[in-house]
């Protein structure tokens, strides 16, 4: 299934995002619940337009942090993740991607941060199992204060809480060691990097190599095109749809068997 991240069309209504799925000839959407048109009132009727498409969800991360030094922020981050899991069940979808968070100070994480992550994952993973929703932990960007930015740490938490793995190629800086967790990968965020922004993987040789290895390994999970127009340039709706269509065709060539 080839999806795209709704945040690429953050300025549009859900109806327009659904139209982009159709026009780009993709299979569906990874819907960030923070997409502004929905987030302003969280009216579930605004998601009816996705009923004919495959949908995965991404839990809120903007202004949130499950391992913040501020306990109120930790609690709110957990609450919003539980909300997203419930929404996933209501939509008859199957997967929610989550982030591990970061130490509030720009320093290496310490025991208190890891304790917070254990609490977050313990509660959210139990709730996901009750709802029969797959909870998928994404590898973090390789920044000093991020948790789960390397494969060893990610493996520990994925295995401890029986989670799936969302492999973000750009976050990993094309680190192939994450393929050691191939059996856990259920979603792949597909992009390359340009000044910290998600740009087209089809234009990046290292990203293409990783995608080819995933195909050779027989990967059959979600392929999620994750783009940031700030890294690509100003585009109108038509131009964004064309980019998505081209990236979708690029992925089909790699994963056709």
Q: Average pLDDT over the chain, rounded to whole? A: 96
In the chain, the domains with their CATH numbers are 2-255 (3.20.20.150)
pLDDT at position 195, please? Answer: 81
Q: How confident is the model at residue 257 (pLDDT cuts 50, 70, 90)?
A: low
The span from the first CA to the last CA of the chain, in angstroms, equals 14
- pLDDT for res 11: 95
Q: What is the pLDDT of residues 139-188, one digit of tens each?
A: 999 999 999 999 999 999 999 999 999 999 999 988 999 999 999 999 99
Confidence grade of residue 233 (pLDDT, cut at 50, 70, 90) = confident
Mean pLDDT confidence for 217-226: 97
Confidence band, pLDDT 50/70/90 cuts, at residue 256: confident
The answer to whether 18 touches 50, Cβ cutoff 8 Å, is yes
User: Per-residue pLDDT for 107 more than 90?
Assistant: yes
b/e 183-215 (16+ beta carbons within 10 angstroms → b): ebbbbbbbbbbbeeebbbbbebeebbebbeebb
The pLDDT value recorded for residue 229 is 87
Crossing angle of helices 14-24 and 237-255, rounded to 10°: 50
What pLDDT sits at residue 196?
84
> What's the pLDDT band for 135 if we cut at 50, 70, 90?
very high
pLDDT of res. 136: 98
Give the model confidence (pLDDT) of 15-37 as tens digits.
Answer: 999 999 999 999 999 999 999 99
| Residue whose tokens read 């923070």 | 34
E strands, the chain, are 2-5, 28-32, 54-58, 95-98, 134-138, 164-168, 185-190, 192-194, 197-199, 222-225
- What percentage of the chain exceeds 90 in pLDDT? 94
- 0.95 exceeded by the pTM? yes
């Amino acid at each position: 299934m080839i999806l795209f991240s709704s945040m690429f069309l953050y300025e549009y209504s859900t109806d327009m995002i659904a139209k982009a799925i159709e026009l780009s000839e993709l299979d569906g959407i990874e819907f960030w619940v923070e997409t502004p048109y929905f987030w302003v009132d969280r009216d579930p009727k605004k998601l009816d337009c996705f009923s004919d498409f495959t949908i995965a969800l991404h839990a809120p991360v903007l202004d949130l942090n499950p391992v913040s030094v501020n306990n109120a922020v930790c609690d709110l981050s957990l609450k919003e993740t539980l909300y997203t899991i419930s929404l996933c069940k209501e939509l008859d979808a199957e997967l929610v991607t989550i982030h591990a968070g970061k130490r509030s100070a720009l320093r290496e994480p310490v025991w208190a941060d890891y304790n917070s992550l254990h609490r977050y994952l313990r509660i959210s993973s139990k709730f996901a199992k009750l709802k029969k929703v797959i909870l998928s932990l994404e590898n973090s960007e390789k920044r000093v204060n991020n948790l789960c930015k390397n494969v060893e740490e990610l493996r520990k938490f994925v295995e401890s809480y029986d989670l799936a793995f969302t492999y973000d190629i750009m976050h990993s800086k094309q680190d192939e060691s994450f393929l050691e967790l191939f059996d856990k990968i259920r979603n792949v965020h597909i992009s390359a990097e340009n000044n910290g922004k998600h740009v087209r993987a089809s234009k990046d040789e290292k990203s293409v190599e990783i995608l080819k290895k995933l195909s050779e390994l027989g990967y059959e999970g979600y392929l999620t095109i994750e783009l940031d127009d700030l890294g690509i340039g100003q585009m109108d709706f038509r131009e964004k749809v064309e980019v998505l269509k081209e990236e979708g065709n690029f992925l089909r060539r790699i994963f056709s068997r």
